[in-house]
Structure 1
């Protein structure tokens, strides 16, 4: 029996979304501390001076403390801005103001730069629902980051931010899915 990977992905995303939704505020606070520490270590160890990162939504791994740390150290940050055509524009934002973007996701307010701006960063941090031990990333189903990563001629290291229980043995993979080089969790950094 052949099972459609998109149906398996849909069911897995629903389970992971519910798991994130039911994490307690205490669990989220502890995770934020771990994410921040591990992201600081990753950026320091890689020597990154210009990175791409997203503004986290309520139930996602919290990137905001890390972004504050990066800003105080003069690390330039590029943020994704979703477009209706399925591509990402980018902005540097002003560090404070944000608005609700497509699909209700937070986006920084700032000058909108085109899709090619991502080519100048030296580290990319992406959201994910889960990642497997081979680096296959399960996103949330809209394909924005897969399209972006798949179109880059020279892609810097890409790390997904996930909770510890979202690093799985395997996730379904389709031809358009782009792998990541590693994951950052509250307790560790894993490079594949």
Structure 2
């Protein structure tokens, strides 16, 4: 694919942001409960002892209750910290999270930086997404942090994107650098894709 897809991606992201912004408080609360239930079940099914997750922003599917559950269960949780070079550092979850807005404008915890390679130790990766199609192709928010991270891992554990139900679609615009995911978690279900990339088969 070529750079001609950039305007199409921007328009789709803007539409998805608007839809998320228009969700009611009750819809967000129900979605949060469902996503937590699905993520807990996924973590138990994979037997993950270490997971990477992210601090959700206001309009994103809420991952915070899941992170709190994982920490209470003794599961090590890594959160991403954006860097100016386009890579991600990582820090561990603590009992009392202090937050700031990172370079990418999303919430990030304040903690000891563990470096980009810390992600190699986790058993499950939970990532944000704007949308995912039924082949597992992920449309991110245009910053490229996760595409770079996932694309550089030699032994990548299962990767699941967290989205709202309507954001699982037939097709998203795809470019060469875009990375697929193994599945999606929505408020009502967890979907695993039958077509996985060779990168994911090396776990």
Hey, what's the Cα distance between the residues in 1 that align with 2:93 and 2:77? 8
Hey, what's the Cα distance between the residues in 1 that align with 2:23 and 2:183? 24
5+ long unaligned stretches in structure 1 = none
- Secondary structure at the aligned position of 2:104 is classed as helix
- Secondary structure at the aligned position of 2:56 is classed as coil
Q: Is the 1:94–1:109 Cα contact (8 Å) retained in structure 2?
A: no
Give the drift of 1:93: 3.4
* Residue number in structure 2 paired with 1:141: 142
* Residue number in structure 1 paired with 2:176: 175
* Residue number in structure 1 paired with 2:18: 18
Hey, what's the Cα distance between the residues in 2 that align with 1:46 and 1:94? 23
Hey, what's the Cα distance between the residues in 1 that align with 2:93 and 2:144? 23
* Residue number in structure 1 paired with 2:94: 94
Answering whether residue 31 of structure 2 is matched by residue 31 of structure 1, we say: yes
* Residue number in structure 1 paired with 2:72: 72
Q: Is the 2:163–2:184 Cα contact (8 Å) retained in structure 1?
A: yes
Hey, what's the Cα distance between the residues in 2 that align with 1:175 and 1:56? 27
Paired positions, count: 191
Task: List, as ranges, runs of 4+ consecutive aligned residues in structure 1 with deviation greater than 4 Å.
Answer: none
TM-score normalised by the chain length of structure 1: 0.97
Answering whether residue 137 of structure 2 is matched by residue 152 of structure 1, we say: no
Hey, what's the Cα distance between the residues in 2 that align with 1:110 and 1:3? 37
Answering whether residue 35 of structure 2 is matched by residue 41 of structure 1, we say: no
- Secondary structure at the aligned position of 1:66 is classed as helix
Give the drift of 1:3: 8.9
Hey, what's the Cα distance between the residues in 2 that align with 1:16 and 1:37? 24
Give the drift of 1:135: 0.2
Hey, what's the Cα distance between the residues in 2 that align with 1:172 and 1:64? 29
Hey, what's the Cα distance between the residues in 2 that align with 1:168 and 1:4? 21
Give the drift of 1:4: 1.9
* Residue number in structure 2 paired with 1:189: 190
Answering whether residue 114 of structure 2 is matched by residue 113 of structure 1, we say: yes
Hey, what's the Cα distance between the residues in 1 that align with 2:105 and 2:5? 26
Hey, what's the Cα distance between the residues in 1 that align with 2:24 and 2:3? 34
Over the aligned positions, Cα root-mean-square deviation in angstroms equals 1.2
5+ long unaligned stretches in structure 2 = 194-203
Q: Structure 1 residues 149-158 or 94-103, which shifts more? A: 94-103
Residue deviations 1:86-143 (CA, integer Å, cap 9, x gap): 1100000323222221132111111011111100101000000000000000000000
